[in-house]
Amino acid sequence: MNGRSAKRLARLQETLSGGGTIHLSEAAKLCGVSEMTIRRDVAASNGAMTFLGGRLVMADNPLFAPVYDLDEQQGSHYLAKHRLCKGAASFIAEGDTLFIDCGTTLMPLLGMLGDFQSITVVTYALNVANAVSGLPNVRLVLLGGLYHDVSQTFADDAMGDAIRRLGINRAFLSAAGVHAERGVSCFHFHEVAPKQAAIASAAQRLLVVDESKLGAIRPAYFARLSDFDVVITENDAKLASAEGEPGPRIVAA
Amino acid sequence: MNGRSAKRLARLQETLSGGGTIHLSEAAKLCGVSEMTIRRDVAASNGAMTFLGGRLVMADNPLFAPVYDLDEQQGSHYLAKHRLCKGAASFIAEGDTLFIDCGTTLMPLLGMLGDFQSITVVTYALNVANAVSGLPNVRLVLLGGLYHDVSQTFADDAMGDAIRRLGINRAFLSAAGVHAERGVSCFHFHEVAPKQAAIASAAQRLLVVDESKLGAIRPAYFARLSDFDVVITENDAKLASAEGEPGPRIVAA
DNA sequence: CAATAAATGTTAGAAAAATCACATTGCATG
DNA sequence: CATGCAATGTGATTTTTCTAACATTTATTG
């Protein structure tokens, strides 16, 4: 990559910084070079930008990441999350205020909210906010703060208070580890405070986890299993160890 | 559009609710129909989804929108904003904490932040947050609250206090109307509080407006012109009426 | 200022995607 | 159960995008 090429690339990057696409032909006109040169620039950009059907997009734009690939085993993994969320959605009632946790597990749930007339979603995750912002029937409350790239979430000292001030009917939580004795945990410590505040203030607490999380222990502990009213997972047998004891209702989806 | 078609469409919409794309062939496999049927479904979806180079994307996602079209006069409009932001960027110093206002005017500025080592961006706009979240050298603080679709911003009673607690070096404000006597205004009342808080607490206040806004008066007044230290616009002559009086420095870009 | 290398432009051909026309299937109705 | 209609599938055609090869221009260096 040479100097002028880098300059063009920077120009295009600025143009696309707010999201969106430009057609190859327009990018070429904008930079005053041929389409082939733009192609070569992009090829040399080391993955910062890519083409999608003749249009130029920032590669890190979450909108353009392929979500689904039948050839990979990831496909069935997605299907599992879809099933889990189908089960989770059956708990939602018209007019609910929902807390939606971060991660990818609960993303399919958001698409299912279109079936309701009036729902309010409370979240501290950017990807969740983006998905919900497009739904006309869903009110969105985003809990702001300092952005953490690793989890696409915001964190703030005052977030716990902010959550407690909201009237949350149902809190849908995700986790990276669920252990019968060692409780429920995630990877990042900055997620603990909002999760605990949601658990503390919601009328109903639902944990949605796929099978791969069962038995795992992750660095950031945030709740006991018995703190939840419902656990939605694929294999209810794996969690049915403490029969009879007071604990969450285990639902297989 | 018939019942089964709507069902397939809903299925695909759920799949893409979290952003991302699927290839036509995978969408077809997922729904158990031919690629042609998916094409027909999408064509009948009334613009909810579109194809981008053989891949299916949600069209209503704020991150997706062709930003640039040379054939429209919008193109030159974009170029103007780019020039304005180039001028605005020259005020930024290494290590600054910047308040970035909502709207599209300041979007090109965000791409220019890649030149710095360490910048903090404070905003209450979702589109700004999305653009900044991809920049590795920029810390992002998003001011949360209830989401307003019309301006892609969040609003909250406590936002003013949150802004005043932050140490903002430079506040970059946009506006929909700038009038010598009637001051600076925007369309939406929920934007007034954060704008005023930013003006009140920032060390330097910069107004960035293209020529089309000069002379206009909009419903929501939020500041006098003299509240700003710098006004960056295309035509400095139009604002130079009150020479000699105490007022902002007018910069043509 | 020639010689060389790098960058860019032009064209042709291959691959992929979009469109179209028509065949086939499945469903509802008399 | 035959009939008609809507939905879907299939293959041919057109258009667009991608790639590669070679020509031309621009910069660099001794």
Q: What is the pLDDT of residue A111?
A: 82
Confidence of residue B63 (pLDDT cuts 50, 70, 90): low
Q: What pLDDT does A75 receive?
A: 47
Residue A10 belongs to some domain of the structure: yes
Report the pLDDT value the prediction gives residue B77, as an integer from 0 to 100. Answer: 65
B54 and B141 together in one domain? no
**Cα–Cα distance measured from residue A69 to residue B25, given in angstroms and rounded to the nearest whole number:** 10
Nearest to B198 by CA among B84, B97, B117: B97
Residue in chain A closest to B136 (alpha carbons) equals A149
CATH number reported for the structural domain that contains residue B24 in this entry? 1.10.10.10
Residues of chain A positioned with their CB less than 8 A from the CB of B13? 111, 114
The Cα B93–Cα B43 span in angstroms is 49
DSSP state letters, B164-229: HHS--SEEEE--SEEETTTEEEES-GGGHHHHHHHHHH-SEEEEE--GGGBT---SEEEE-GGG-S
pLDDT 10s digits, A137-195: 999 999 999 999 999 999 999 999 999 999 999 999 999 999 988 999 999 999 999 99
Q: What percent of chain B has pLDDT over 70?
A: 86
Which has the minimum average pLDDT: A54-63, B162-171, B181-190? A54-63
- A241 pLDDT band, cuts 50/70/90, is low
A108 and A42, same domain (yes or no):
no
Q: Specify whether the backbone of B183 is left (phi greater than 0), alpha (psi in -120 to 50) or beta.
A: left
**Lowest mean pLDDT: which of A236-245, B99-108, B144-153?**
A236-245
Phi, then psi, of B118 in degrees rounded to 5:
-150, 110
Interatomic separation, CA of residue A79 and C1' of nucleotide C25, rounded (Å): 29
In a domain, A237, yes or no: yes
Put simply, the chain B residues between 2 and 61 with a CB less than 8 A from any chain A CB are 10, 13-23, 26, 29-30, 51-55, 57-58, 60-61
**Which of A46, A58, A142 is most worth mutating to test chain B (most B CB atoms within 10 A of its CB)?**
A142
pLDDT band at A57 (very low <50, low <70, confident <90, very high): confident
Same domain assignment for residues A44 and A163: no
How confident is the model at residue B62, as a pLDDT? Answer: 59
Q: Could you say which of B17, B34, B58 is where a domain stops? A: B58
Question: Based on the domain organization, do A161 and A36 belong to the same domain?
Answer: no
Three-state SS annotation for chain A: CCHHHHHHHHHHHHHCCCCCEEEHHHHHHHHCCCHHHHHHHHHCCCCCEEEECCEEEECCCHHHCECCCCCCCHHHHHHHHHHHHHHHHCCCCCCCEEEECCCCCCHHHHHHHHHCCCEEEEECEHHHHHHHHCCCCEEEEECCEEEECCCCEEECCCHHHHHHHCCCCEEEECCCEEECCCEEEECCHHHHHHHHHHHHHCCEEEEECCHHHECCCCCEEEECHHHCCEEEECCHHHHHHHCCCCCCEEEEC
Q: What is the pLDDT of residue B112?
A: 87
The pLDDT of residue A73 is 39
Answer yes or no: is A69 within a domain.
no
Give the integer Cα–Cα distance in Å for A250 and A238. 10
Residues A209 and A105: their CA atoms lie apart, in Å, by 7
Whether residues B124 and B19 fall in one domain: no
**Hey, what are B85's tokens?**
């932001």
Is B68 among the domain residues? no
CB A15 within 8 A of CB B79: no
* Stretch A205-231: mean pLDDT: 94
Interface of B with A in 125-164 (CB under 8 A): 126-134, 136, 139-147, 149, 152, 154, 158, 162
Nearest CA in chain B to A28: B70
Instruction: State yes or no: pLDDT of B212 exceeds 80.
Output: yes
> What's the whole-number mean pLDDT along residues B177-194?
95
Distance from residue B4 (CA) to nucleotide D1 (C1'), in Å? 26
Q: Which residue is nearest to nucleotide C20 (CA to C1')?
A: B36
C1'-nearest nucleotide to the CA of B56: C17
Q: Are A46 and A53 in contact (CB under 8 A)?
A: no
Q: How confident is the model at residue A112 (pLDDT cuts 50, 70, 90)?
A: confident
- What are the pLDDT digits (tens) for B145-161? 999 999 999 999 999 99
Q: Which of A61-75, A148-162, A216-230 has the lowest mean pLDDT?
A: A61-75
User: Is B64 a domain residue?
Assistant: no
B66 assigned to some structural domain: no
Rounded Cα distance, B68 and A30, in Å: 9
**Interhelix angle for A126-133 vs B126-133, to 10°?**
140
Q: In this structure, what CATH number is given to the domain that contains residue B93? A: 3.40.50.1360
Residue in chain B lying closest to A136 (CA): B149
Residues A155 and A101 in one domain: yes
Mean pLDDT in residue range A28-38: 89
Q: Exposed, middle or buried, A154 (CB in 10 Å: 0-12/13-18/19+)? A: buried
Give the mean pLDDT of chain A.
Answer: 86
Whether residues A147 and A230 share a domain: the answer is yes
Cβ of residue B82 closer than 8 Å to a chain A Cβ: yes
Q: Does residue B67 lie in a domain region?
A: no
* Integer angstrom CA distances of residue A58 from A11, A35, A37, A50, A55: 12, 17, 17, 6, 10
Q: A–B: how many Cβ contacts below 8 A?
A: 216
The gap between the terminal CA atoms of chain A, to the nearest Å, is: 51
Q: Are residues A126 and A244 in the same domain?
A: yes
pLDDT band at A1 (very low <50, low <70, confident <90, very high): low
pLDDT digits (tens, 9 = 90+) for B67-77: 654 444 344 56
Asked if residue A22 lies in contact with residue A30, where contact means CB atoms within 8 angstroms, the answer is yes
Cβ <8 Å between A17 and B53 = no
Contacts of A26 in chain B (CB under 8 A): 68-70, 75
Q: Which nucleotide lies closest to A50 by the C1' atom and the CA atom?
A: D18
* The pLDDT of residue B46 is above 80: no
Report yes or no: A66 at the B interface, CB cutoff 8 Å.
yes
Q: In this predicted structure, which of A14-28, A114-128, B116-130, B131-145 has the lowest mean pLDDT?
A: A14-28
Q: Is residue B105 predicted with pLDDT exceeding 80?
A: yes
Q: Nearest CA of chain B to the CA of A26: how many Å?
A: 6
Tell whether A51 and A171 lie within a shared domain: no
Q: Can you tell me the distance from the alpha carbon of A154 to that of A126, in angstroms, rounded to the nearest whole number?
A: 8
Select the highest-mean-pLDDT range: A17-21, B70-74, B171-175.
Answer: B171-175
pLDDT at A18: 67
Quick one: A128 and A59 in the same domain?
Answer: no
Residues near B94 by beta carbon (within 8 Å), at least 6 away in sequence = B116, B117, B118, B119
Span A69-108, pLDDT tens digits:
444 434 456 677 888 998 999 999 999 999 999 998 898 8
Q: What is the pLDDT of residue A101?
A: 97
Listed residue (A159, A174, A84, A95) closest to A127, CA to CA: A174
What beta strand segments (E) does B36-165 contain?
49-52, 55-58, 97-100, 119-123, 138-142, 145-148, 153-155
Q: How many domains does chain A have?
A: 2
Return the closest nucleotide (C1') to the Cα of B42.
Answer: C18
**How sure is the predictor about A62, in pLDDT bands with cuts at 50, 70 and 90?**
low
**What is the domain extent for residue B18?**
3-58
User: Cα B62–B11–A251 angle (5° rounding)?
Assistant: 110
Residue B179 lies in a domain: yes
Q: What percent of chain B has pLDDT over 90?
A: 51
Terminal Cα distance for chain B, rounded: 50
**Chain B residues near residue A133 by CB distance under 8 angstroms:** 62, 126, 147, 149, 152
- The b-or-e profile of A113-145 (16+ CB within 10 A means b, else e) is bbebeebbbbbbbbbbbbbbbbbeebebbbbbb
What are the Cα distances from residue B10, in Å, to A53, B30, B50, B80, B200? Answer: 24, 12, 14, 40, 47
Q: What share of chain B is helix, strand, coil (3-state, %, to 5)?
A: 40, 25, 35
Residues A57 and A83 in one domain: no
The answer to whether residues A117 and A161 belong to one domain is yes
Q: What is the pLDDT of residue A77?
A: 65
